[in-house]
Amino acid sequence: MRRSWLIGGGVALVLFFVARAASASQRSVIPMLDVGLSKSQREAAAVIERVVLEKMPEATPELIMAIIANAWRESALNPRAKGDASSGTPHSFGLFQLNTARGVGIGLDEVAMMDPAYNTGIIMDREVLTSRGKKLQAANALPSPDAGDMASIFVYDIERPGDKPGEAQKARNAVASLFGV
């Protein structure tokens, strides 16, 4: 009796994950991009979406929009962006401006951080999928997640700038202007 439940439960679990994988291709947010992005910016957004879904198959379109909007704010979706050069030498690299002086970029290779898949993977592995990302994860699990709210959470918990309220509003605005939502 117990064995048949295990087999039946295993089949149900497999079917659940197959259905999730099939729906991933149907929930792409890239066609929703509502502004005149260059081909390379659209490609960067597509890489972000792909990596987010690889790392977090349960990611909603709203979460993906929020993450892309934050990359837009950080680098204008330029994987080769360098910033935070107050000392004359850049310390932040790539789509999410991973900081080598005081952030998740410490100890990482600067050239590697300019690879969009690597950069997105780092932000997912070291931030979104850790305890720092628990509010994002919870918002993602809501029945009707809001991309603007998620972009704001990203600012507070992942990006952590000095002017959190102002930057959170800019993140909300970025979701609205990029995706028209």
pLDDT digits (tens, 9 = 90+) for 108-130: 999 999 999 999 999 999 999 99
In degrees, rounded to 5, the angle at the alpha carbon of residue 175 between the alpha carbons of residues 154 and 19 is 80
User: What was the pLDDT predicted at 102?
Assistant: 85
Q: Is 146 exposed, middle or buried (CB count within 10 Å of its CB: 0-12, 13-18, 19+)?
A: middle
Q: What CATH number does the domain containing 44 carry? A: 1.10.530
In a domain, 2, yes or no: no
In a domain, 15, yes or no: no
Domain region containing 58: 30-179
In a domain, 21, yes or no: no
Of residues 97, 107, 96, 45, the one with CA closest to residue 71: 96
Q: Is the pLDDT of residue 25 over 80?
A: no
What mean pLDDT do residues 86-104 have?
Answer: 87
Q: Is the pLDDT of residue 146 over 50?
A: yes
In a domain, 153, yes or no: yes
In a domain, 67, yes or no: yes
pLDDT digits (tens, 9 = 90+) for 162-178: 788 999 999 999 999 99
Residue 116 token pair = 């969009």
Positive or negative torsion for Cα 142, 172, 133, 114: positive
In a domain, 10, yes or no: no
In a domain, 102, yes or no: yes
The rounded mean pLDDT for the chain is 87
In a domain, 41, yes or no: yes
What mean pLDDT do residues 38-50 have?
Answer: 97
What mean pLDDT do residues 7-35 have?
Answer: 60
User: What was the pLDDT predicted at 160?
Assistant: 81
Residues facing residue 82 across a β-bridge: 93
User: What was the pLDDT predicted at 85?
Assistant: 64
Looking at the 3D structure of the chain, how many domains does it have? Answer: 1
Q: Is the pLDDT of residue 50 over 80?
A: yes
